[in-house]
Amino acid sequence: MISYNSENTFQLSNESQISTWLEKVILNEEKKLGEINFIFCDDDYLLKLNVEFLQHDTLTDIISFDYTVGKIIQGDVYISTERVADNAVDFEVSLEDELRRVMVHGILHYCGYKDKTDEDAKLMREKENHYLQLFANIQ
C-alpha cells in the first residue's frame, strides 16, 4: 500500500495514477509492494530530519528511510516540496515532472540502487528516465 501525507499545505492531485505507476516500477524491478509512506513537507522539516538522523546540516529534496525486507519494498519517503519546486525551476521542468523524478528516486533506492559514485548516479538517472517514460505511457 502506498499512502500520501503532508506536513505542509501540499496536496498530491493524482494519487491513484501515481500509485499505479509506482507499483509498476516495483513489479518491473521484481520486488513486491509492502507499505510506502510519502510525507510531503517544507525545507525546515526535512532539514531537522537531515541533521537528526543523517548528521547533514544541508537542505535536500528527499530523505528515505528504508524498511525493506527481502523483496518486500517498505519505507518512509520525506520530500521537501519547496526543494522540488526550486529544482524544477533550476532544471527547467514542471513541478509535476520533478516531483515524479524524486518519488521514483526514493523507490529505486528501496530496490537497491545507489547514487554515491558517478557510475551509480548515472545508472540511477537512467532508471529514473526509463520509469518517467513509463509514467508518460500509462497516462
Please give the order of strands across the beta sheet that includes 32-41.
2-6, 32-41, 72-80, 62-66
Q: Say which amino acid occupies 54.
A: L
Helices 43-54 and 81-91 meet at what angle, rounded to 10? 110
- DSSP one-letter code for 69: B
Per the annotation, does 57 bind a ligand? no
Q: Say which amino acid occupies 36.
A: I
> CA–CA separation, 113 vs 139, rounded Å?
26
Per the annotation, does 105 bind a ligand? yes
* H or E element at residue 85: helix 81-91
Per the annotation, does 130 bind a ligand? no
Q: How many CB atoms lie within 10 A of CB 58?
A: 8
Annotated binding site: 105, 109, 115
Annotated binding site for Zn(2+): 105, 109, 115
